[in-house]
Structure 1
Amino acid sequence: MPFTPVHMGPGLLIKALLQGSFSLMVFGWTQIVMDVQPLWVMIVGHGHLHGFSHTIIGSSLIAIFAALTGKYLSEFGLRLLGIAKPAQPIIIAWWVAFLSAFIGSYSHVGLDAIMHGDVQPAYPLTLDNPLLGMISVSTLHKLCLYSGMLGAVIFYAVQWHTRKKHY
């Protein structure tokens, strides 16, 4: 993906389907952490653009880091935005943080593997990328955009329906 926000489309759809069992903020944090290595390579001008971070092993390690840090960062953000009360002890359950981070890191590798020839998801077992070119880059971007739009509609429809039932 050319920009991390493109990865958020599928995340919005997953949030709509899983609701409170998924943290979009932890997912988003994971997207950012996943692209630190490619950003570093772009800045310094050498290295493997989608290297170890874009493998199953590397993305698993990133998911653990993103869950451990993202839970606290997300809870802080939710309090800062006024979505959560300051006295509320647990906002994001640990299992939700880990689920969201692993979905985030693995989906990131999958999406990038479809469009980037240098992604080697199963490294060190193989250098092959069986996902490369599975669909066109244009179609991939449209799927990410449309999944985000559909996810937003479903999420707000569920929220509206839930609030309506409580009044």
Structure 2
Amino acid sequence: MPFTPFHLGLGGLTGGYGSRWFSFRAFCFANVLIDAEALYRLPLMLYPVHDWMHTFLIGGIAPVLLWYHIGRPFCLWVSRWWNKLAAGGVLEKVHISNKIKTLPAIIALVVGGLSHVFLDGIMHSDIEPLRPFGYGNPFYRLINISHLHYILTFCGLVGIGLMFIRCRKK
């Protein structure tokens, strides 16, 4: 994916906007964390651009390990910033809680990490998602890239729609 935004559409469809069992903020953190590897390696022209963070093993574990000290504080800071920005305006009803529960965060971190690796595996040939247990990329070009982008964009739009429906009910 071209740096994360398409990945976030999946988070919206999996209940990310207000679900009791899934933290959209944690899902976002997992995806941004994994893409930080490519963001670092690309300008340095290191190959593969998508290295260990883009494996199921590390992509599924690293977000959970880094959540408490990095991800959670950052997500709470962004939440406070958003609430100040939206206060008194048209987006005031889109208030983000200052709490992030542990179980929904862990579920979202694992789902976010694993789905990121899978989706990038479809798009990028340099990913070896099964490493160190297997090599190669069985997901590469599994579906047309344009179709993948359309599907994830649709998921994101549905998620935004669900968010506004939930906000209207409050």
Q: How many residues matched?
A: 158
The 2-side partners of 1:44 and 1:75 are apart by 31
TM-score normalised by L of structure 1: 0.84
Partner residue, 2:112: 104
Structure 2 SS opposite 1:131: coil
Judge conservation of contact 1:16–1:154 (CA < 8 Å) in 2: no
Stretch of structure 1 that moved more, 57-66 or 138-147: 57-66
Which runs of 5 or more residues in structure 2 are unaligned?
Answer: 84-94
Alpha-carbon distance in 2 for matches of 1:72, 1:8: 20
Deviations 1:58-84 (A, max 9, x none): 102322234222222222222333346
Gaps of 5+ in 1: none
Matched residue, 1:19: 19
Secondary structure of residue in 1 paired with 2:135? coil
Q: Which residue matches 2:45?
A: 45
1:32 CA displacement: 1.3
The structure 1 residue matched to 2:151, chosen from 143, 147, 153, is 143
Listed one character per residue, the Cα deviations across residues 93-122 of structure 1 (whole Å, up to 9, x for unaligned) are: 111221111111111001001111111111
Q: Which one-letter code corresponds to 2:80 in the other structure?
A: R
Cα distance per residue 1:34-81 (max 9 Å; x no partner): 012111211211231111111111102322234222222222222333
Q: Which string of whole-angstrom CA distances, capped at 9 and with x for unpartnered residues, describes residues 134-153 of structure 1?
A: 11000000011001011111
1:130 is aligned to: 138
Tell me, in whole angstroms, the C-alpha distance in 2 between the residues paired with 1:16 and 1:95. Answer: 13
Which AA in structure 1 matches 2:13?
L
SS in 1 for 2:43: helix
RMSD (CA atoms):
2.0
1:74 aligns with 2:75: yes
Which residue matches 2:164? Answer: 156
Q: Distance in 2 between matches of 1:57 and 1:16?
A: 23
Percent identical among aligned pairs is 26
2:62 paired with 1:54: no
* TM-score relative to the length of structure 2: 0.82
Is the 1:7–1:108 contact (alpha carbons within 8 Å) kept by the matching residues of 2?
Answer: yes
Aligned pair in 2 of structure 1 residues 73, 137: CA closer, same or farther (>3 Å)? same
Question: Which structure has more helix as a fraction of its residues?
Answer: 1
- Alpha-carbon distance between aligned partners in 1 of 2:101 and 2:12, rounded to the nearest angstrom: 19
Instruction: Indicate the SS of the match to 2:47.
Output: coil
Q: Which amino acid aligns with 2:65?
A: F
In structure 2, C-alpha distance between the alignment counterparts of 1:81 and 1:73, rounded to whole Å = 12
Cα gap change, 1:60 to 1:78, in 2 (>3 Å): same
